[in-house]
Amino acid sequence: MAATAPTTSRVWTVPNILSLGRLLLSVFCFFLVERQDFKAATVVFLLAATTDWIDGWYARRFNQVSRLGRILDPLVDKVLICGVFILIAARGGMAILPWMAVVVVVRELVVTAVRAEMERAGCDFSAGMAGKLKMVLQCAAVGLELGRFGFPQFFAGTDAAAITGWVAMAAVVLTAYSGAEYVVKAWPVITAAGPPQVG
């Protein structure tokens, strides 16, 4: 009989360590936004967002997908995006508006609850294309919003606020759409009518 891998090797994987690092970077980014140090906040946010792509790629490439990672990775993503959206919207006079932050937070709460039920029922509930694309647009909106204050020289001669506003609007629309898509996919399980039909 093959030996079972030690529990620690299934917990302290590279993707999980990257996710924990992203959580620390998220907290640091919140601190920088509150201090209005937008230059440093932009750099830290982009670094945190990059680790999200790296840990997912690494987990698949080197077969280090774990149950903890399936919980930790999306949770940390939600902390980062919801936290920054809330802090930016709370400042006032920004392209990312309070109602946009509300839509993002509500969607993430709903999807988290639905995902928990799907996982409990033993159904795969990996992110779909709409969910992945909304994360890209959310990161682009936040990166632009922080960057236009932190690095104004890069936006000279452009209506940076309008551009950021349109990207943020697209992110919010896709956020709402992907949330509805998750609920529709999970509806048969939620209503105890059997596993969702995909494809």
pLDDT at 8 over 70: no
Residue 1 pLDDT: 41
pLDDT at 150 over 90: yes
What does the block give as tokens for 70? 């399936």
Eight-class DSSP state of 2? P
Residue 119 pLDDT: 73
What does the block give as tokens for 81? 């995006």
pLDDT at 4 over 60: no
pLDDT level of residue 127 (50, 70, 90 thresholds): low
Q: Which helix (H) or strand (E) holds 68?
A: helix 67-91
Question: Could you give the CA distance from residue 194 to residue 182 in angstroms, rounded to a whole number?
Answer: 16
Cα dist. 16→44, 64, 151 in Å? 19, 9, 32
Lowest mean pLDDT among 71-75, 79-83, 134-138: 71-75
Place of tokens 């998220």: 26
Question: Could you give the CA distance from residue 187 to residue 62 in angstroms, rounded to a whole number?
Answer: 33
* The CATH number fitting domain 13-190, selected from 3.40.50.1220, 1.20.120.1760, 1.50.10.20, 3.30.365.10: 1.20.120.1760
pLDDT at 129 over 70: yes
Answer for the pair 96, 85: CB distance below 8 angstroms, yes or no. yes
- Kindly report the pTM of this predicted structure: 0.84
Residue 52 pLDDT: 86
Average confidence (pLDDT) over 28-35: 97
Residue 186 pLDDT: 84
